[in-house]
Structure 1
């Protein structure tokens, strides 16, 4: 009989500890390798060097393309002021130029701002006394002139445009108006302007919500912000002609329900596979830009070939569809290849067994989680192949929610919940105007005049 070696208990504990530390090291290396090209990390957290782009290089040269109309400063036929420059002095032959008749003019123009100052209009209401009964009568002032002295709708619109449209903090808005117009307004005045605009835009928000519910496809996303020092959440529901921003103290379903759009929506919601969105009653489409980034990370960082192959296959089928050359045979072959590669991903990332004496389910490998998601939500990932109105990615919501991120970085959070809600309503109005090709400036001035522009939400 051979001698059976007894296993040292200390050795077993050391091996288990080494395995645990190796797993922790792999996780830390994975975190160090993440950037905006292979994860959901925003570009602002990337290293100084530019990460790789998913866009394929085209044969076109940089700059304006052939046929592009271009923009340049044009000579105006109706200048506001003409300054004639007289020719004086003496010609080389001795003739005095002042005595010679003008035969032509050469013109040059300078396009500049006029002198900036407040334009003050004084309204004088006539007062009369009846010669028969002595009754005193007075003409009525316009509705927009309620007090003895006030600012007008353009200045109200200007301060709101700076704060909500361009995220300039209240204090700097007052500095700008003082420097440009000599108007020493206070932070409180700017805040009152914002609150007034929000009140008058309530009807717009109701129409916007009704218009969103009528769409076939909507995009959704969310991001964090601070309200009175506490974490709150911006939510966006949008499409090509309208944007709805809402603010809530929670990120989950309660916030979506409070917004009053997606919980009643029966069309397709495009999102980034956050689990809460799957509770919505409509159909789902997943953002494949997120999927491509996750596949790149598994391929290049974790050395999993199935992820690279799936990423390339997904890019090829998308570009074939985008160019209009996709055939039914190619589509069927892609579906088969998709399923094969997902199974390969599950095989490359086996189930992690429970750790003795550790509570809860064992954490699965990122590759397995992604492969399981591809298997479970295959129809939602590939819905863009079946419906022409469903996009490949969620870029519409990504672009719209980015403005909330810019606001957070430029001027921080909000002092109150009411201030955040007012910002969201006005920002929804601004974004919708931009999408419909209307002037934001004219729209804001009309709001303070008490007139709302007519907006259309049918695509």
Structure 2
């Protein structure tokens, strides 16, 4: 076909050819994505291998990480000692063997036989009022007798709680592990009741976690979809200075946010684009820069010719601010200089997003950046502030894994228990506390008022 003489027609044909090539490329990517989604490992695949992967194995030199060998245990931890005697004759030539010395080898093993305790509960009555009273041993978790006298111990209950609520195993798998590894018969219903009981005993700790989060100078917040009884719900996460709190609610509203954070919170609140966070007018807001960068990069991937300018400018401005913050030296700038530096970033962003945009997606992004232009660069004034809410997103991952395994909770009571257990167990990890020890002590402390209460935050 002859090339048209009209310049406008030539430009039009060139534009059509570019769009056809673009449609072909997008169609190919869509087909690849559809085929990948039908593969069995699709939800967990990370894409094709990297062209230049890191060399496997340890790094050379001094900084190559910790050695993998297990150190010998102290003598007081050794429970058994066995002799590995020489054979009667040399295994190679059947000659006479002469012993020249001994060497030690250590083995750490799991207990396969369950430890069964028997408590002789002494029962009496008061001569003054006549009321019945029974004894309570520090290892008991309940006063139940009769048909409910045979129970699971506190360490075993804590282990079941950890496997389900933190490791993400279903109640059926928890029961299977107890039977296969420990020789303890456990049903799905027993695993459920153990979790509910642990949540009840840990309720005081949950309130402490909420109070600790409210008092935090910085709070990172995020939320994800959940299910309660097959109905849609939301799981919220708040990461404070020392504690992490979770709560499950049927709505993605500001009501639960105000109940947990407090409407008069005046700290730093790092969050995504969820509009309900705007209710906290006393707080210093830091919008998640990673979300804005992700949107700009997605627009840049689809842009052609001159349309690449706006997303590139957004990416360059936000990236410049992050690089400045990461390279900031404490004490190098005074407050006035930091404030002026932040104002310069605000002004540059406002000038960038105030211009009219013909592309609807660009106009939407520009409007979002303009509406919150004072909430993007709080980390420039105070470099201690994180530019993203990555801490909350990391905390959400634990819930996402659990959701993939067993989908959510069946009842509102289970959802409440889920929030309590995840909050306390995650905070225990942040406080370098043993989850099993803390839950076990909480189970034994309930009803044993003469025992010291386990402390989650010390003091």
Bigger shift: 307-316 or 279-288? 307-316
What is the CA-CA distance between 1:231 and the residue it aligns to? 0.2
Task: From the superposition, tell whether residues 117 and 348 of structure 1 become closer, same or farther in structure 2 (CA, over 3 Å).
Answer: farther
Aligned partner of residue 316 in structure 2, secondary structure:
helix
Deviation string, structure 1 residues 10-47 (Cα, Å, up to 9, x no partner): xxxxxxxxxxxx9xx9xx99x969x9xxxxxxxx8798
Q: Indicate if the aligned counterparts of 1:343 and 1:371 stay in contact, CA closer than 8 A.
A: no
Match of 2:433 in 1: 438
Provide, for residues 384-423 of structure 1, a one-character-per-residue CA deviation record: whole Å limited to 9, x for no partner. 0001331111001111112111111111111101101101
In the aligned structure 1, how far is the partner of 2:229 from the partner of 2:86?
67
Residue 69 of structure 1: CA displacement?
5.5
When Rg is computed on C-alpha atoms for both structures, the one with the higher figure is 1
What number of residue pairs does the alignment pair up?
A: 393
- TM-score w.r.t. the length of structure 2 is 0.74
Q: Aligned to 1:316, which of 311, 317, 320?
A: 320
Structure 2 residue aligned with 1:249 = 250
Partner of 1:174: 175
Q: 1:385 aligns with which of 380, 383, 407?
A: 380
The residue number in structure 2 matching 1:140 is 135
* Cα distance in 2 between the residues matched to 1:111 and 1:183: 21
CA distance in 2, matches of 1:427, 1:216: 22
TM-aligned CA deviation for residue 255 of structure 1:
2.9
Q: Does 1:49 align with 2:11?
A: no
Cα 1:141–1:288, aligned 2, differ >3 Å: closer, same or farther? Answer: closer
Secondary structure at the aligned position of 1:263 is classed as coil
Provide the rounded CA distance (Å) in 2 between the counterparts of 1:373 and 1:51. Answer: 36
Question: Relative to structure 1, is the Cα distance of residues 149 and 347 closer, same or farther in structure 2, using a 3 angstrom cutoff?
Answer: same
**What's 2:13 paired with?**
none
Q: What is the aligned partner in structure 2 of residue 260 from structure 1?
A: 260
Change in CA separation of 1:371 and 1:175 when aligned onto 2, cut-off 3 Å: same
Q: Could you say if the C-alpha distance between residues 186 and 337 of structure 1 is closer, same or farther in structure 2, counting changes exceeding 3 Å?
A: closer
Q: CA deviation at 1:141?
A: 4.9
Q: Which deviates more, 237-246 or 306-315? A: 306-315
TM-fit CA distance, 1:297: 1.5
TM-score, normalised by the number of residues in structure 1 = 0.74
Structure 1 position 93, deviation (Å): 12
Q: Secondary structure at the match of 1:206?
A: helix
Q: Distance in 1 between matches of 2:154 and 2:404?
A: 29
Shift of 1:125: 5.0
Partner-residue secondary structure (3-state), 2:232: strand
Query: What does residue range 151-170 of structure 1 map to in structure 2 within 5 Å?
Result: 151-170=152-171
Distance 1:63 1:456, change over 3 A: farther
Structure 1 position 107 matched with structure 2 position 70: no
Q: Distance in 1 between matches of 2:116 and 2:210?
A: 39
Q: Distance in 2 between matches of 1:190 and 1:261?
A: 32
Give the whole-Å Cα distance in 2 for the aligned partners of 1:127 and 1:273.
61
The verdict on how the C-alpha distance between 1:276 and 1:192 changes in structure 2, with shifts beyond 3 A counting, is same
**RMSD over aligned Cα, in angstroms?**
4.0
Give the Å deviation of 1:205. 1.8
